[in-house]
Structure 1
Amino acid sequence: MPSTSAHRLAGEVDVLAFDIFGTVVDWHGSIAREIAALHPQVDADAFALAWREGYRPAMARVMSGELGWTLIDDLHRMILDAILPRFGLGHLDEAARRQLNRAWHRLAPWPDVVEGLQRLKRRYTICTLSNGNLGLLTNMAKRAGLPWDCVLSAEVFRAYKPDPATYLGVAKVFDLPPQRVMLVAAHHDDLAGARACGLRTAYVEREIEFGARRPKDVSPQPGNDLHSRDLLDLADQLGC
Structure 2
Amino acid sequence: MMPLRVLAFDVFGTVVDWHGTIAKEIDALYPGVDGNAFALAWRAGYRPAMQRVMTGELGWTLIDDLHRMILDELLPRFGLGHLDEAARRRLNKVWHRLDPWPDAVDGLARLTSRFMVCSLSNGNLGLLADMAKHARLPWDCILSAEVFRKYKPDPATYLGVARVFDVPPAEVMLVAAHHDDLAAARACGLQTAYIERPLEFGAASMKDVSPHPDNHWHAKNIGHLADLLGC
**TM-score relative to the length of structure 2:** 0.97
1:6 is matched with which residue?
none
2:151 is matched with which residue?
160
1:233 and 2:230 aligned: no
Quick one: distance in 2 between partners of 1:188 and 1:64? 22
Shift of 1:230: 1.8
From 178, 202, 205, the counterpart of 1:211: 202
2:87 is matched with which residue?
96
Q: For residue 228 of structure 2, what is the amino acid of its counterpart?
A: L
Q: Give aligned-pair identity as a percent.
A: 73
Shift of 1:219: 1.3
**Number of aligned positions between the proteins:** 228
Shift of 1:234: 2.5
1:76 and 2:70 aligned: no
Shift of 1:152: 0.3
Matches within 5 A, 1:117-128: 117-128=108-119
1:53 and 2:44 aligned: yes
1:10-36 alpha-carbon deviations (Å, 9 max, x no partner): x71100000000000000000000100
Quick one: distance in 2 between partners of 1:234 and 1:172? 23
* SS of alignment partner, residue 213 of structure 1: helix
Mind listing any 5+ residue stretches in structure 2 that lack a counterpart? none
1:125-177 alpha-carbon deviations (Å, 9 max, x no partner): 00000000000000000111100000000000000000000000000000110
1:21-73 alpha-carbon deviations (Å, 9 max, x no partner): 00000000000001001001001000000000000000000001000000000
* SS of alignment partner, residue 166 of structure 1: helix
1:27 and 2:18 aligned: yes
Matches within 5 A, 1:180-199: 180-199=171-190
1:4 is matched with which residue?
none
Quick one: distance in 2 between partners of 1:37 and 1:55? 23
2:142 is matched with which residue?
151
1:5 is matched with which residue?
none
1:12 and 2:6 aligned: no
From 95, 101, 126, the counterpart of 1:110: 101
Q: For residue 226 of structure 2, what is the amino acid of its counterpart?
A: L
Shift of 1:217: 1.1
* SS of alignment partner, residue 204 of structure 2: coil
From 16, 26, 29, the counterpart of 1:38: 29
1:61-94 alpha-carbon deviations (Å, 9 max, x no partner): 0001000000000000000000000000000000
Q: For residue 35 of structure 1, what is the amino acid of its counterpart?
A: I
Quick one: distance in 2 between partners of 1:172 and 1:160? 16
Shift of 1:98: 0.2
Q: After the TM superposition, which parts of structure 1 deviate over 6 Å for at least 4 consecutive aligned residues?
A: none
1:179 is matched with which residue?
170
